[in-house]
Amino acid sequence: MREIFENIPIIRYEGPDSQNPLAFKYYNPDRIILGKTMKEHLPFAMAWWHTLCATGTDMFGRGTAHKSFGKEMETMEHAMAKVDAGFECMQKLGISYFCFHDADLVPEAADIRETNRRLDEITDYILEKIQSTGIRCLWGTANLFSNPRFMNGAGSTNAADVYCFAAAQIKKALELTVKLGGKGYVFWGGREGYETLLNTDMKLEQDNIARLMHMAVDYARSIGFKGDFYIEPKPKEPMKHQYDFDAATAIGFLRQYGLEKDFKLNIEANHATLAGHTFQHELRVSAINGMLGSIDANQGDDQLGWDTDEFPSNVYEATMCMYEVLNAGGLTGGLNFDAKNRRPSYTPHDMFYAFILGMDTFALGLIKAAAIIEDGRLNAFLQDRYASFYNGIGQTILDGSATLTSLACYAESLGAPAMPDSGRQEYLQSIVNNILFS
């Protein structure tokens, strides 16, 4: 087997004092945290599109990174070389999962039947790699946003023929996901939205998206898919407005259309901030609704209003993420690095440095989140803050025996209401800092 990243060794844990750029400082897969190994807590995944396809092209310039992997671009030989490169990369980093779009795997042909034949061929090869390495598919999806035919959306298109092409791609992507043993299937509605309401039948579009999702669930279950479907919320980009705006909106949509049993959410950090939320907020909304499925682990830039898909470096954010994940009892999905190098970081070494950064950031986040939980002060404060609901009049509210009249009588008996206890935000923030930096 040809080695593609010849100068990159297997990346091992060397500890925080190591200055070896090709070693983990915090991610120690076998270390036990709260009863599970780090590897179990952190089911990392490689995103096929960023890692194997993206070259750093932007609106103003060509790619800077070479990802031919020694073959002619846009050929089946190149598609095979991407498989080799991807599996070598995951093996060297100790990453156990990957995520893919159909369009990431092979060059699209003019006729969908030929594209599907190519997809069969490449997934035969991927399946061999899965069997020989034990690396698994976290989730698959169909790219329903790049081809110009999807300019007005896929499920939300105005053109029934285009809707059928979307259906055909979803059908095939589901078959491939099942073939590769994928744990989940993602709907990211990049073009499922609008540019202007002047030309948009919002109700029809949303009804049609739900119809497509129902058909996808029915078909997937009929071919043996047991995993979760995910909606990946994002408020905008590429469309001005996207229907899956944020976690709360997506959950409302799923419940409105009776899809909530089959779907959970795939929360992306950078999408949360584009929606005007924190990453932690989106995770909490998902978790309290029983919908926290998987995570696209990346980060945005506070000064930029678009999806920069950076590898996560912010330990505070990662700590709050893992705090939510631990409190929710873990992920059924995984942590997919939907992240790419900055355009000037274009070498294979940069790619490995980026993954090391991301994996170490989440390892630190896990260590610190577990420390916050073990420390117990935050949780104790929270219990105490709501204590008035666990006895006396508060208890009657929780157990449903209260009426507006009983509460009003009680209020009258008090005369003037008391002030609630302080929220103590700054005190709590100092506890978090104390744990983070000790």
- Among 84, 282, 338, 360, which residue sits at the site for ligand XLS (rule: CB under 6 A)? 338
Please, what is the minimum distance in Å from the beta carbon of residue 266 to ligand XLS? 7
Nearer to ligand XLS among residue 291 and residue 364 (C-beta) = 291
Of ligand XLS, Ni ion, none, which one sits near residue 102, judging by CB under 5 to 8 A according to partner kind? none
Give the shortest CB-86-to-ligand XLS separation in angstroms: 16
Residue 238, preceding peptide bond in cis (omega within 30° of 0): yes
Segment near ligand XLS (CB under 6 A); pick from 63-71, 74-82, 112-120, 184-192: 184-192
In DSSP terms, which residues pair with 140 in a beta bridge? 100, 185
Q: Could you tell me the smallest distance in angstroms from the CB atom of residue 296 to ligand XLS?
A: 5
What residues between 121 and 160 interact with ligand XLS by CB under 6 A? 141
Out of 41, 50, 102, 104, the active site residue is 104
Strand-pairing partners, residue 229, are 185, 263
Smallest distance, ligand XLS to C-beta of residue 268, A: 5
The owner of tokens 């932690």 is 280
| Inter-residue long-range contacts of 126-134, CB under 8 Å, 24+ positions, other chains counted | 126/83, 126/180, 127/179, 127/180, 129/83, 129/87, 130/180, 130/181, 133/87, 133/90, 133/91, 134/96
**CA separation for the pair 209, 82 (Å, rounded):** 32
- Residue 141 contact, options Ni ion, ligand XLS, none, Cβ 5-8 Å cut-off depending on partner type: ligand XLS
Active-site residue, from 41, 78, 101, 281? 101
Contact in structure between 11 and 352 (CB atoms under 8 Å): yes
Burial 48-83 (b: 16+ CB within 10 A, else e): bbbbbbbebeeeeeeebbebebeeeeeeeebbbbbb
Nearer to Ni ion, 324 or 338 (CB): 338
Stretch touching ligand XLS by CB under 6 A, among 126-134, 182-190, 197-205, 394-402: 182-190
Contact of 347 with 407, CB cutoff 8 Å: no
Residue in 69, 97, 188, 337 binding ligand XLS, rule: CB under 6 A = 188
Distance CA 28, CA 35 (A): 14
104 as an active site residue: the answer is yes
256-285: which residues touch ligand XLS (CB under 6 A)? 268
Q: How far is the CB of 336 from ligand XLS (least distance, A)?
A: 7
175 binds ligand XLS (CB under 6 A): no
Give residues 223-242 in contact with ligand XLS (rule: CB under 6 A). 232, 234
Chain residues that interact with Ni ion, rule: CB under 5 A = 268, 296, 307, 338
What does DSSP say about strands 36-37 and 32-33: parallel, antiparallel, or unpaired?
Answer: antiparallel
Minimum gap (Å) between residue 300 Cβ and ligand XLS: 11
Q: How many CA atoms lie within 13 A of 291 on its CB side?
A: 30
* Residue 281 is among the residues annotated as catalytic for this protein: no
Q: Which is nearer to Ni ion, 38 or 42 (CB)?
A: 42
Stretch that binds ligand XLS, among 10-18, 183-191, 367-375, 401-409 (CB under 6 A): 183-191
- For residue 348 the two structure tokens come to 């294979």
| H or E segment and range at residue 265 | strand 263-268
CA distance 106 to 80: 9
Residue 215 to residue 362: CA distance in whole angstroms: 36
User: From the CB of 87, what's the least distance to ligand XLS, in Å?
Assistant: 20
Cβ within 8 Å of residue 348, ≥6 positions away: 5, 7, 8
Which tokens in the block code for residue 423? 């929220």
155 binds, among Ni ion, ligand XLS, none (CB under 5 to 8 A by kind): none
CB closer to ligand XLS out of 234 and 368: 234
State which residue, 192 or 296, has the beta carbon closest to Ni ion.
Answer: 296
192 counts as binding ligand XLS under rule CB under 6 A? no
Assign 28 to helix, strand or coil: coil
Question: Which residues contact ligand XLS (rule: CB under 6 A)?
Answer: 101, 141, 186, 188, 190, 232, 234, 268, 296, 307, 338
Active centre residues (catalytic):
101, 104
